[in-house]
Amino acid sequence: EAQVTQNPRYLITVTGKKLTVTCSQNMNHEYMSWYRQDPGLGLRQIYYSMNVEVTDKGDVPEGYKVSRKEKRNFPLILESPSPNQTSLYFCASSSGRGELPSYEQYFGPGTRLTVT
Amino acid sequence: AQKITQTQPGMFVQEKEAVTLDCTYDTSDQSYGLFWYKQPSSGEMIFLIYQGSYDEQNATEGRYSLNFQKARKSANLVISASQLGDSAMYFCAMRESPYSGNTPLVFGKGTRLSVIA
């Protein structure tokens, strides 16, 4: 089954304690992306990756890091989480080619993060 | 300027009735894709329907159809025969120029649909 998985699904942590949210896709997609969703603001892109070892900032990258060492994995790293990073996080992937199926982004189930 | 505008923060519809969720967009690209996603209270993002900018016919997927009016830059979602399970948040989104570089989905702020029995 084609899917994007994220772990953990729920996380409560304290300010300053480093954490990693994992994301993995089994569709051999080149393009992967992280979004955060906040009430009244919709979804905003944090970081994206066009392919292995190719990453770049989205609209709200401050306080986050990513890596893309393998095609299937795109972890989101919060080196020193703060309460304003409390949010719902989504990983998404799509084919990097310009064909019609690449228009669709497949979303993971989301990770609810609370930073106290 | 907002690229995706959803003007209805919340809507109610009677079960078995049809409902239209509004979406207008702003882009100067000729090639783009328009999407609707459903987000139930459990939080996952569920893809509903897609419309390409060059598609001449309106997209349909089961009870979902997209009323695409390119000149007006609108992409309204029509849900026919509403069901209680349709109660959720609905997001309109756009992806521009997928042939070049980073092409994130840009989302509207959503419309919360409540279906009444």
Separation between Cα atoms, residue A19 and residue A80, nearest integer Å: 8
pLDDT band at A30; cut points 50, 70, 90: confident
Give the pLDDT score at B101.
58
Contact call for A104 and B99, based on CB within 8 A = no
Is residue B56 over pLDDT 90?
A: no
What pLDDT score does A101 carry?
A: 39
Tell me which of B58 and A99 has the higher pLDDT: B58
CA gap A27, A33 in Å, rounded: 14
Identify the weakest region by mean pLDDT among A44-58, B45-59, B92-106: B92-106
Tell me, what amino acid is at A71?
K
Query: Are residues A110 and B33, on separate chains, in Cβ contact within 8 Å?
Result: no
Average pLDDT, chain B: 91
A109 interfaces chain B, CB cutoff of 8 Å: yes
Cα B56 to Cα A88, A102, B73: the distances in Å are 36, 19, 14
Q: Which residues of B touch A95 (CB under 8 A)?
A: none
B47, B102, B108 member nearest A48 (Cβ): B102
d(CA B102, CA B92): 19
Q: List the structure tokens of B29.
A: 């690209």
- Cβ atoms of A70 and A32 within 8 Å: the answer is no
d(CA B65, CA B45): 18
A43 contacts B35? CB cut-off 8 A:
no
Q: Pull the structure tokens for residue B35.
A: 């999407």
Q: Work out the mean pLDDT of chain A and round it to a whole number.
A: 90
Which tokens go with A50? 């066009």
Torsion of CA A81, A83, A88, A94, to 10 degrees: -40
Could you tell me how many CB contacts below 8 A there are between chain A and chain B?
A: 56
pLDDT band at A100 (very low <50, low <70, confident <90, very high): very low
Please state which of the ranges A32-36, A106-110, B4-8, B94-98 shows the lowest mean pLDDT.
B94-98
Residue A104 — very low, low, confident or very high, per pLDDT cuts 50/70/90? confident
Beta carbons of A109 and B44 less than 8 Å apart = yes
CA angle (B10, B14, B16) in 5-degree steps:
125
Distance CA A56, CA B36 (A): 26
pLDDT, position A95 = 75
For residue B98, pLDDT beyond 70: no
Percent of chain A with pLDDT over 70: 93
What band does A116 get if pLDDT is binned at 50, 70 and 90? very high
- Contact residues on chain B for A102, CB-CB shorter than 8 A: 98
Q: State whether B102 and A56 contact (CB < 8 Å).
A: yes
Nearest Cβ partner of B104 from A41, A58, A106?
A58
Radius of gyration of chain A (CA): 14
Q: Does B107 contact A42 at a Cβ distance shorter than 8 Å? A: yes
